[in-house]
Chain A
Amino acid sequence: MILDKSWWKYLLAVWMTVVILGAFLYAPPAKGLGETARIIFFHVPTAWLATLAFLISAVGSIQYLRTQEKKYDIWAYSAAQIGLIFAILATVTGSIWAKKIWQSYWNWDPRETSIFILLLIYAAYFALRSAIDIEEQKAKLAAVYSIIAFVTVPFFIFIIPRVYESLHPDPLINPEGEIKMDSRMLQVFINSLLSFTLLFFWMLRLKIETMKIHFKIEQSLSE
């Protein structure tokens, strides 16, 4: 598999360096939002990865319940852990930007509310895992909870915009379906999104591998 080679990791390092430089030097400031808009190159990818991780975790959970195979639990758990990191990053970066632009760190904007709910779900997921002793029980109940949470999420998409008014800029696609971004901004943005996603899969792979090794050591110790 191509991911087993290591050259792509060096490529990723170069790529992300270029993206970071591009975000500050190449992309122009956005209309109306000024220099602060540069945060979208880092904020949006983290939010996207927090969501992607949640999805992967749910898929892993469904697979676990179907097959009862340990590896799917490792998937679900690892994705949730990395997802939590990105959710925190998205919350913090968003909050800093909100302070700059809306003069307050927290406004219960729909997107702030959504990421906050995601954080709550992740927190609940880990709290549940830590409260069960038997591995198989833990994997099973955590998988069930993750699926319940996953099914609840679409409701928020309907409910939240109705109750909480939005100030948040639509970064890429607005209701008119136009791309508002300047072409140079867009180039950096898309590169940032892709490179962050690759970074995410690297992290996820590392996490899964270490979990598997951890699991094997435990197994050999108990025998």
Chain B
Amino acid sequence: MVKRSLSFIHKAYIVFLKDLHVEFRSRYAVNAIFLFAITTLTAISFSIGPIRLRSEILAPLLWIILFFSSMSGLAHIFVREEEQQTADTLRLLTSPNSIFLGKWLFNIILLFSLEVLIIPVFLAMMGVQVDSPGTFLLIIFIGSIGLASVATLIAAIISQASAKGALFAVLSFPISLPVLISGIHGTQLAMDGGTFKEAISDIQILFSFSIVIVTLSLLLFEFIWRK
């Protein structure tokens, strides 16, 4: 049993490495997500000019950038397999849950690497003072896991439909709302110097939401993946 679950995680890791390798060659998703984020950020910064915004506006702006950047790049992980007709190849190689976990990990890493770049730039461009950096990072960290989890699950669904691009955001938005609402609320608290204790309920919601979505994904993914 232990050996089986280990091999199941090991295979997820192999799928992850493969996707990393393929992405490294084509850089499609990376380009999409980074360029989208930077374009949006620049557009916002341009239109606002030198005005200093309050945290009530900065926190939603940050999460809107993260959400729509995710929507521009995170579906690619499944769409690529369907479009290049490698999905059936993959279906014959390993169990659905290993595939899901591998791709989930890939999307999380992709979103994290975006954030490592875009958040410092956002803070600098908008002149934001984050009073509780620890809480801020924790909220972003858990929130991103939630966002990437929803995106991966919905990506699996839309990769089998037509009009994939438009559908992705439409389907993801209502499901990601708990992440967005709690993430925005927590981020705003952290920018204004709220302590970890004050943000605890947001952290709890983000954390439990991610766990619920991942569990649900492992239960439902086989239905999505197998035709």
Contact with A along B186-227 (1 / 0, CB 8 A): 000000000000000100010001001100100010011001
Instruction: Classify the interface of chain A: helix, strand, loop or mixed.
Output: helix
Indicate if the CB atoms of B171 and A156 lie closer than 8 Å.
no
Q: Count chain A residues whose beta carbon lies closer than 8 angstroms to a beta carbon of B.
A: 29
Chain B, range 150-180, C-beta contacts under 8 Å to A? 153-154, 157-158, 160-163, 167, 170-171, 173-175, 177-178
Indicate if the CB atoms of B175 and A149 lie closer than 8 Å.
yes
CA distance A167 to B28 in the complex (A): 47
Indicate if the CB atoms of B181 and A160 lie closer than 8 Å.
yes
Indicate whether B80 reaches chain A with its CB closer than 8 angstroms: no
Indicate if the CB atoms of B157 and A133 lie closer than 8 Å.
no
Partner among A117, A147, A155 whose Cβ is within 8 Å of the Cβ of B220: A147
Closest B residue to A143 by beta carbon equals B223
Indicate if the CB atoms of B178 and A141 lie closer than 8 Å.
no
Residue numbers in A under 8 Å from B213 (CB-CB): 148
Q: Closest Cβ of chain A: how far from B179's Cβ, in Å? A: 9
What 3 A-B pairs are tightest by C-beta distance, nearest first? A131-B161, A155-B178, A120-B174
**Which residues of A line the B interface, CB within 8 A?**
65, 117, 120-121, 123-124, 127-128, 131-133, 137, 140-141, 143-145, 147-149, 151-152, 155-156, 158-160, 162-163
19 contacts between A and B (CB under 8 A): A117-B177, A120-B173, A124-B170, A128-B157, A131-B161, A131-B167, A141-B161, A143-B223, A147-B216, A147-B220, A148-B153, A148-B154, A148-B175, A149-B174, A149-B175, A152-B174, A152-B178, A159-B205, A162-B201
